[in-house]
Amino acid sequence: MAADGPWLVVGLGNPGPEYAGNRHNVGFMVVDLIADRIRGKFKAHKARAQVVEGRIGPAGPANRRIVLAKPMSYMNLSGGPVTALRDFYKVPVERVVAVHDELDIDYGTLRLKLGGGDNGHNGLKSMTKSMGAEYHRVRFGIGRPPGRMQVADFVLKDFSSAERKELDYFVDRAADAVECLVLEGLERAQSSYNS
């Protein structure tokens, strides 16, 4: 594995303005923020994704090449574009990071892990089917739907006004967690950001 090979950080979401503020699109929000930090602009890629290439970390040998990606397929077809990008940039699966919403974690809570199941998340299910499960996940808690609301309805709704008050803070923290994972490794990122 080349020391300077890039990391592929994939924000999971659905393309189109009607989905932009949805809970299911928090992965897009996180990679958008990292792109802003590195002053990158997303461009269309032949792999049916929007990508930004850049570097994170301090100047010099400690920084890392990073490819930020937003698949432009719908969530349940994310695996195709992600696998095409992984192949195009020659990224080993253990340097792929999926940033996604997670129902079984309280709102705003982060958990980072390597590998595991998809927990019913269609974006992860598609990625795992395409390339196996041994990629990193940055799981952004959105909590469970209230009352009898269906999960599909809940994830495709925008964050509530109460949630939006803290959303920028939580997205910022998730972006920090991604950068820590890429620069310092999973254990350091888990000890700093898993809550």
- Count Cβ atoms below 10 Å from residue 180 Cβ, excluding itself: 20
> What confidence score (pLDDT) does residue 175 get?
98
> What confidence score (pLDDT) does residue 186 get?
96
> What confidence score (pLDDT) does residue 3 get?
57
> What confidence score (pLDDT) does residue 105 get?
95
Angstrom distance (rounded) from CA 123 to CA 165: 27
Of 24, 45, 121, 136, the active-site residue reads: 24
Burial of 106 from C-beta contacts in 10 A (0-12 / 13-18 / 19+): exposed
Angstrom distance (rounded) from CA 168 to CA 151: 23
> What confidence score (pLDDT) does residue 61 get?
81
* Pair 81, 73: CB distance under 8 Å: yes
> What confidence score (pLDDT) does residue 62 get?
80
Q: Which residues of 11-40 are buried (b: 16+ CB within 10 A; e: fewer)?
A: bbbbbeeebeebbbbbbbbbbbbbbeeeeb
As averages over each run of 10 residues, the pLDDT of the chain (195 residues) reads 79 96 97 97 96 91 93 95 97 97 96 94 96 97 94 95 96 98 96 92
> What confidence score (pLDDT) does residue 1 get?
45
Q: What angle do CA 22, 26, 27 make, to 5 degrees?
A: 135
> What confidence score (pLDDT) does residue 56 get?
94
Angstrom distance (rounded) from CA 193 to CA 139: 11
Token duo for residue 142: 């959105």
> What confidence score (pLDDT) does residue 59 get?
81
> What confidence score (pLDDT) does residue 58 get?
85
Verify whether residue 24 is a known catalytic residue.
yes
The residue type of 181 is L
Strand partners, 9: 68, 97
Please give, one letter per residue, the 3-state secondary structure of 12-68.
Answer: CCCCCHHHCCEHHHHHHHHHHHHHHHCCCCCEEECCCEEEEEEEECCCCCCCEEEEE
Three-state DSSP at 88 gives helix
Q: What is the pTM of this model?
A: 0.96
